Amino acid sequence: MNPATEPNTQNTRPGRTFAPKVDILETEAGLRLWAEMPGVDENAIEVELVDGVLSLRGRVATAEYDNLEPLYTEYGVGNFETRFRLSNAIDGERIQAKLRNGVLELELPKVAAAKPRKIEIAA
């Protein structure tokens, strides 16, 4: 079995994997999502939308941490991964992502039919 070609399988990643801390805010225009991914380079992030599931993955280069013997540690070094099921109200074709200071920011716009609108009352 080849994990790269078999459905519903994926290659394993070396090292530890953490769920990033995520904040989500809803506006009239859509959702805004922030995911903390410290140590992840913008070229090492994957944002994917497949069958309504939004996947966020970030890979950390751990080579600089090899052979270290820390005296005390609270900061876990590893990859990041999380998934969210999106409603049909999100326009997947217009999702935008950027990385700023270790925080992945996503704009998830709503489809026009899902945006609130004012209904005029006829007199």
3-state SS, residue 89: coil
- Whether pLDDT at 13 is above 70: no
Q: Give, in order, the Cα–Cα distances in Å from 105 to each of 2, 68, 70, 97.
A: 34, 32, 31, 6
For residue 12, is it within any domain? no
For residue 96, is it within any domain? yes
Q: How many residues does the structure list for the chain?
A: 123
Domain count, the chain: 1
3-state SS, residue 8: coil
Parent domain of 46: 17-62+76-112
For residue 91, is it within any domain? yes
Question: Tens digits of per-residue pLDDT, 17-48?
Answer: 899 999 999 998 999 999 999 889 999 999 99
Neighbours of 31 (CB within 10 A): 20
CATH number for 22 = 2.60.40.790
Supply φ then ψ for residue 40, to 5 degrees.
-95, 130
Question: Tens digits of per-residue pLDDT, 64-94?
Answer: 777 777 788 777 678 999 999 998 999 999 9
